[in-house]
Amino acid sequence: MQYKASFFMSVFGQFLTSFATFLTIYFLFQRFSNVDGYTFSEILICYSSVIFAFSTAECFFRGFDGFARIIGNGEFDRMMVRPRPLVLQVMGQRIEFTRIGRFLQSIAILIYALPASGIIWTPDKIFALALMIIGETAVFTGLFIIYASICFFTLEGLEFMNVFTDGGRELGSYPIDIYGRGVLIFYTFVVPLACAQYYPFRYIIGRTSDIAALLTPVYCFIFLIPCYFVWRLGVRHYRSSGS
Amino acid sequence: MSANVQNTDKAEKRAGVVKYLSFFRMKFISGLQYRAAAIAGIATQFAWGFMDILIYSAFARSDPSSLPMPMEALTSYIWMRQAFLGLFMAWYFDAELIDMISSGNVAYELCRPADIYGMWFAKTAATRTSRAVLRCFPILLVAFFLPHGFAMNPPASAAAGALFALSLILGFLCVISFGMLVYISTFYTVSSNGLRLILVNIVSFTSGELIPLPFFPDAARRVLELSPFAAMQSTPYMIWGGVMAGKEALFFIGLQLFWFAVMTVAGKLWMKRALVRVVVQGA
C-alpha cells in the first residue's frame, strides 16, 4: 500500500517537474508581452511540440541513457550474444513509468496548446505540425543514440551530452531564432532541431507561406544516419577492445 | 654468498621502485580521467549558463521595461546559481543515509557517541561543500571575463559583497537544515522517492532554481520571499545584485537566521521522536 502511495506521489512529482517549466514560461509572458515578436500563444505550439517529441523519444530511446551502467556491469556483453537486434534490446531496458507519466503530461500540454494558440488548423497546418513533431522526435532520438555510443568510448564527461539533449529541449521551447544567427545555423546544419521546430513553425503561425518550409524536417531523418553509424562504430570499438 | 644477497637486495629494491612507479602511473591516469570529467562538468555548466542568459536576453531585448531586476544582476544570478549548484542543489540526497534509514541500519548509528542530527548535518554539509568548492572558483573567475551582456558582475557595493558572504553561509545552513527535515521524513515512509520528488520540486521552484523570484507575479513573490525557500538560495544572490539592499537586506538576512533556527530546532526534536520509533519497532 505504501508503495502505491509512493508511486502516485512519484507521478505527481513528475507532473510538478513538467509543470514547473510550463509555469516558468507562463510567468515570463505575464511580464513580457512578447519575445522577439512571438506571443505566448505562438510559443505554446513550439513548446508543446518539443516537450511531446522529447518525451516520446525519451520514453522509447533513452534506454541508451542508462547505457553507462549496462556497459559497466557487463550486461551489454550478454545482449551482444542474443539474436535480437542490439538497438531493440537497449531500447527495452528502461521504459520507466515516470517517463510514461511525463509522456502523458506532454500529451495533455499539447491538447491544451492546440486550441489555446488561436491558430486555425487547416489541413496543411496540421500536416506541418505532424512533421514538426516527428522531426523533433527524430532529432532527440538521434541525440540519445549518440549519447549511448559515447559510452562505448568513455564513461567520463557524459554529462556534457545533456547540453544537447536536455539543453535542446530547453532551447527548443522557444523558436530557435531568438538566440541569434549562430545558434540558428548550428541547430539547422549540425543538430537539425530547427529544421523541425522552426521552419515549419513559421509556416503554421503564418510568418511565411512558403511550402518549402515544410520540407526541412527531411534533414532530421537524414540526421539519424550518421547517428546510427556512430553507434555501429561504438559497438565495433567495444568488441575489438576485448571486453 | 654475500654477492647473492646483494643481488637479491638490489632486485628487491628495483621491484619496489617499479611497484611505486606503476602505482603512480595508475593514480596519475585516473587523476587525469577525473580531471577530464571535471572539465566536462564545468563546460556543461557554462553551456547551461549561456543558454539561460540567451533566453533572458531575448526577453529583455523585446520588452526592456518589463525586466523586474537589472540585467547585470540577472546575469550574475545565473552564473552564481551555476557556480554554487553543489551547495544549494535541491535534487541531491545522500544515498547512504537514505539507505540507512529505509533498511533500519540507522539503529547502529545510535551506538555512536555523537548525536545523529549533528553527525548527519556535518556529513551532508561536507559533501555539498566539497562538490561546490572545486567548481565555483573556475566558473566565477571565467564568468567575470566573458563579453559584455554575458559577464558576471561585481557586487552592487562593498557592503553588498560583505552581506552576500554572510547570506551565502546562512542560506547554505538553511539548505542543510531543510535537508535534515527531508531525511527525517523518510523515517515514516517505506518508499520515500515519491515524497522526496514532490518536496524537491516545490523547493527548487520556490527558491529560484528555475526562475529568479523577482519574475514571479508580485503577490506570489512577496509571500515566497518570506518563506524558508527564498532563504535557501535566493536571498544571497539578490543582495549581491543590489536588488535587496541596506535595511531590506538586513531584514532578509535576519529572516534566514530565523528559518535556520526554526528548522534546526524542529529537526532535532523530530529526529528524537523518529529515532524512538525506530528503536521501538526493533529495527
> Do residues B56 and B75 both lie within one domain?
no
Cell of B96: 547512504
Q: How far is B51 from chain A (nearest CA, A)?
A: 7
- Per mean pLDDT, which range of B9-23, B76-90, B141-155, B236-250 is the poorest? B9-23
Reported as a pLDDT band with limits 50, 70 and 90, residue A3 is low
DSSP string for residues in A132-155: HHHHHHHHHHHHHHHHHHHHHH-S
pLDDT of residue B181: 92
**Residue-averaged pLDDT of chain B:** 86
> Do residues B102 and B194 both lie within one domain?
yes
Reported as a pLDDT band with limits 50, 70 and 90, residue A155 is confident
CA dihedral of residues A160, A164, A165, A166 (deg, nearest 10): 80
> Do residues B141 and B25 both lie within one domain?
no
pLDDT of residue B131: 82
> Do residues B160 and B108 both lie within one domain?
yes
Domain boundary among B67, B88, B114: B67
Angle between helices A123-153 and A162-172 (to 10 degrees): 160
pLDDT of residue B105: 77
- Do B175 and B264 contact (CB within 8 A), yes or no? no
pLDDT of residue A86: 66
Q: Is the dihedral of CA B60, B66, B72, B75 positive or negative?
A: negative
pLDDT of A47 above 90? yes
pLDDT of A64 above 90? no
- Per mean pLDDT, which range of A114-118, A210-214, B6-10, B178-182 is the poorest? B6-10
Reported as a pLDDT band with limits 50, 70 and 90, residue A52 is very high
pLDDT in tens, A27-36: 999 999 888 8
Reported as a pLDDT band with limits 50, 70 and 90, residue B1 is low
Reported as a pLDDT band with limits 50, 70 and 90, residue B74 is very high
User: In the block, which residue shows the cell 577492445?
Assistant: A241
* Residue B160, amino acid: A
pLDDT of residue A32: 92
pLDDT of B254 above 90? yes
Chain B residues whose CB is inside 8 A of the A102 CB are none
In this predicted model, which residue has the larger pLDDT, B205 or A207? B205
Chain A residues whose CB is inside 8 A of the B200 CB are 13
pLDDT of residue B274: 85
DSSP string for residues in chain B: -HHHHHHHHHHHHHHHHHHHHHHHHHHHHHHHHHHHHHHHHHHHHHHHHHHHHHHHHHHHHH-GGG-SS-HHHHHHHHHHHHHTHHHH-TT---HHHHHHHHHTTHHHHTTSSS-HHHHHHHHHHHHHHHHHHHHHHHHHHHHHTSPTTT-----SSHHHHHHHHHHHHHHHHHHHHHHHHHHHHGGG-SS-HHHHHHHHHHHHHHTTSSS-GGGS-HHHHHHHHTSHHHHHHHHHHHHHTTSS-HHHHHHHHHHHHHHHHHHHHHHHHHHHHHHHHHHHTT-
* Residue A156, amino acid: E
CA–CA gap between residue B159 and residue B149 (Å, rounded)? 24
> Do residues B25 and B114 both lie within one domain?
no
> Do residues B202 and B246 both lie within one domain?
yes
Query: Hey, which of B94-103, B113-122, B160-169 has the most confident mean pLDDT?
Result: B160-169
pLDDT of residue B272: 87
pLDDT in tens, B112-121: 767 889 888 9
User: In the block, which residue shows the cell 517529441?
Assistant: A53
pLDDT of residue A94: 47
Reported as a pLDDT band with limits 50, 70 and 90, residue A72 is low
Residue A83 vs residues A78, A80, A86, A87, A89: alpha-carbon distances, Å: 11, 8, 9, 12, 10
Domain boundary among B12, B38, B67: B67
Of A16, A154, A178, the CB nearest to B58: A178
pLDDT of residue B206: 92
CA dihedral of residues A111, A115, A119, A124 (deg, nearest 10): 50
- For the segment B148-153, the average pLDDT, to the nearest whole number, is 88
Residue A185 vs residues A137, A172, A197, A223, A228: alpha-carbon distances, Å: 19, 14, 13, 15, 23
In this predicted model, which residue has the larger pLDDT, B10 or B168? B168
Q: How many domains does one find in chain B?
A: 2
Which of B50, B54, B91, B186 to probe the A interface (max A CBs under 10 A)?
B54
- Do A198 and A184 contact (CB within 8 A), yes or no? yes
- Per mean pLDDT, which range of A43-57, A118-132, B96-110, B216-230 is the poorest? B96-110
pLDDT of residue B211: 93
Which residues make Cβ contacts (< 8 Å) with residue B24, sequence separation at least 6?
Answer: none
> Do residues B136 and B219 both lie within one domain?
yes
Reported as a pLDDT band with limits 50, 70 and 90, residue B283 is very low
Cell of B124: 551532508
Which residues make Cβ contacts (< 8 Å) with residue B196, sequence separation at least 6?
Answer: A13, B93, B182, B186
Which residues make Cβ contacts (< 8 Å) with residue A38, sequence separation at least 6?
Answer: A174, A175, A178, A205
pLDDT of A150 above 70? yes
Chain A residues whose CB is inside 8 A of the B211 CB are 24, 27-28
pLDDT of residue A96: 62
> Do residues B13 and B101 both lie within one domain?
no
In this complex, do A183 and B54 lie within 8 Å of one another by their Cβ atoms? yes
pTM equals 0.84
Expressed as residue numbers, the domain containing B51 is 1-67
- For the segment B54-67, the average pLDDT, to the nearest whole number, is 92
Facing residues of A35 across strands? Answer: A38
- Do B179 and B267 contact (CB within 8 A), yes or no? no
Over pLDDT 90: what percentage of chain B? Answer: 46
Residue B7, Cβ neighbours under 10 Å: how many? 10
Helices (H), chain A: 2-31, 40-61, 67-72, 75-80, 86-93, 97-116, 123-153, 162-172, 181-185, 193-197, 199-204, 218-240
pLDDT in tens, A87-120: 666 555 544 666 777 788 889 888 988 888 888 8
Q: Is B155 left (phi over 0), alpha (psi -120 to 50) or beta?
A: beta
Residue B204, Cβ neighbours under 10 Å: how many? 21
> Do residues B171 and B91 both lie within one domain?
yes
pLDDT of B19 above 80? no
Residue A110 vs residues A38, A185, A214, A217, B94: alpha-carbon distances, Å: 18, 27, 20, 20, 36
Q: What is the DSSP letter of A82?
A: S
> Do residues B62 and B77 both lie within one domain?
no
b/e sequence A166-202, b meaning 16+ C-beta within 10 Å: bbbbbbbbbbbbbbeeebbeebbeebbbbbbbbbbbb
DSSP reduced 3-state for A217: coil
pLDDT of B143 above 60? yes
pLDDT of B14 above 50? yes
> Do residues B2 and B130 both lie within one domain?
no
Which of B51, B53, B200 to probe the A interface (max A CBs under 10 A)?
B51
Of A5, A27, A154, the CB nearest to B216: A27
- For the segment B162-180, the average pLDDT, to the nearest whole number, is 94
For chain B, which residues lie within 8 Å of any Cβ of chain A, measuring from their own Cβ?
Answer: 33-34, 36-37, 39-41, 43-44, 47-48, 51, 54-55, 58-59, 61-63, 66, 68, 189-198, 200-202, 204-205, 210-211, 215-217
Burial class (CB in 10 A: 0-12, 13-18, 19+), B184: buried
- For the segment B54-77, the average pLDDT, to the nearest whole number, is 92
> Do residues B141 and B210 both lie within one domain?
yes
In this complex, do B197 and A8 lie within 8 Å of one another by their Cβ atoms? no
Domain boundary among B67, B88, B116: B67
- Do B206 and B116 contact (CB within 8 A), yes or no? no
Cell of B90: 535541491
Query: Hey, which of A78-82, B5-9, B205-209 has the most confident mean pLDDT?
Result: B205-209
Domain ranges of chain A: 2-240
Query: Hey, which of A208-222, B192-206, B237-251 has the most confident mean pLDDT?
Result: B237-251
